[in-house]
Structure 1
Amino acid sequence: MPSDPIILAFDTSAAHCAAALLQGESILLSRAEPMSRGQAERLMPLLEEVLAEADCTWRDLTAIGVGIGPGNFTGIRISVSAARGLALGLGIPAVGVSGFDALAEIGDGLPAIRAPREQVYVALPGQEPALMAQDQAESLGPLILNDDAKAQVQAIARLAAQNWQSTTTPPAPLYVRPADAAPSKDAPPVLLEE
């Protein structure tokens, strides 16, 4: 196994499936595929392709980095559950990285993550993350939007590399608002007794 830590990072919190492999301070390989659906089916094959292309195996990994949101509820659950499962199976730490932290690593400005209906998620200094209209967020200053999935997943890899040794808890989704989906209002099925 190489002496420099190897971090595999991935993110499916928006309309993409993205992965990056970092060794030491160098990004060995990164990919981002735009997709509105199908991240669950594409994530593991994409990770295997990235590892194979970089001539690495799962056992070479030092840690996992994963985007925890905010963003698409299903996409966040896909990545976080995959990261937790891989970390458990490989016996390595998984580091959750918020989209806000990843975007702040990319550039200067207010990190803003696109949401439905011309809204964005923002995390103002000293405040809880919030959902607001994009034009309202733009009035606060220049925005760093999550439009470059490849740059974002590379930032996740770099932040995971900085924090993997001090991580003590598994990654958990970062949700800013409740899900749009509601429980079924249909009556539950009648259970038949034998």
Structure 2
Amino acid sequence: MSDPTILAFDTSGPYCAAALLHRGQMSTRIDDMARGQAEHLMPMLEEVLAAAGIGWHNLDAIGVGTGPGNFTGIRISVSAARGLALGLGIPAVGVTGFDVLRLSDEKGSLAIPAPRDQAYLMIRDEAPRLVSAADVPAGTLTLDILSNEERIARIAEIAANRWAEPSLPRPAPLYIRPADAAPARDTGPVLLS
């Protein structure tokens, strides 16, 4: 299919972002919010579809931002994408922030801002890692060069290029640093046989 209909979304930052690629036209919506993405995402996606005059059944695939970024936000988007893909019988395509940056620079170093004056750094084909923002090499392309609208549109664009690939893996969160939350102290219920 030359012009797939792709619904993309991302909640890895302090926002709910959505893009709809339909009939070769891209529309985007960014709702800035620090909390409440889980409750906001699905109604927002329904509004994006309704504004285009289409429904869930018109989608060819889902595109989803998989991080790095906010742990809870990433889990919200990835689980929503997996559930929608399963329920609709369509593929879901995971797209990292590094994939988004690769559209601007296929070979150089890439960085994505992280909390506490740090950055997620990927140097060429090495695995991404967390570094101090001061340790990001000069000339590194950073996600700050793109607006939120450009980022979500790129997620939709990448998903449109990948959705028909055979053996497409399910979207998975890209976690580079350990979670800030402490593990539960209780062991949970004990099952008796």
Query: Would you say the 8 A contact 1:70–1:121 is kept in 2?
Result: yes
Indicate the percent of aligned positions where both proteins have the same amino acid.
56
Deviations 1:89-137 (A, max 9, x none): 00000000011111232x3464322211111112110210011112221
Which residue in the other structure is 1:176 paired with?
176
- RMSD across aligned C-alpha pairs, in angstroms? 2.2
SS where residue 47 of structure 1 aligns?
helix
Matches for 1:28-67 after TM superposition, within 5 Å: 29-67=27-65
Gaps of 5+ in 1: none
Query: Would you say the 8 A contact 1:98–1:174 is kept in 2?
Result: yes
Matches for 1:1-194 after TM superposition, within 5 Å: 4-27=3-26, 29-105=27-103, 107-108=104-105, 110-137=109-136, 139-146=137-144, 148-166=147-165, 167-185=167-185, 187=186
* Aligned-pair CA distance for 1:169: 2.0
> 1 CA distance for matches of 2:74 and 2:33?
14
* Aligned-pair CA distance for 1:24: 4.9
TM-score (norm. length: structure 2)? 0.88
TM-score (norm. length: structure 1)? 0.88
> 2 CA distance for matches of 1:155 and 1:5?
15
SS where residue 171 of structure 2 aligns?
coil
Gaps of 5+ in 2: none
User: What is the identity, as a one-letter code, of the residue corresponding to 1:157?
Assistant: A
> 2 CA distance for matches of 1:5 and 1:82?
20
Q: Which region of structure 1 is more displaced relative to structure 2, 174-183 or 88-97?
A: 174-183
User: What is the identity, as a one-letter code, of the residue corresponding to 1:44?
Assistant: M
> 2 CA distance for matches of 1:30 and 1:190?
45
User: What is the identity, as a one-letter code, of the residue corresponding to 1:75?
Assistant: G
> 2 CA distance for matches of 1:10 and 1:151?
12
User: What is the identity, as a one-letter code, of the residue corresponding to 2:172?
Assistant: A
SS where residue 122 of structure 1 aligns?
strand
User: What is the identity, as a one-letter code, of the residue corresponding to 1:126?
Assistant: D
Query: Would you say the 8 A contact 1:100–1:122 is kept in 2?
Result: no
Query: Would you say the 8 A contact 1:25–1:158 is kept in 2?
Result: no
Q: 1:188 to 1:80 in 2, by over 3 A?
A: closer
Query: Would you say the 8 A contact 2:67–2:97 is kept in 1?
Result: yes
Deviations 1:17-69 (A, max 9, x none): 10000125431x10111111111011001101110111111000000000001
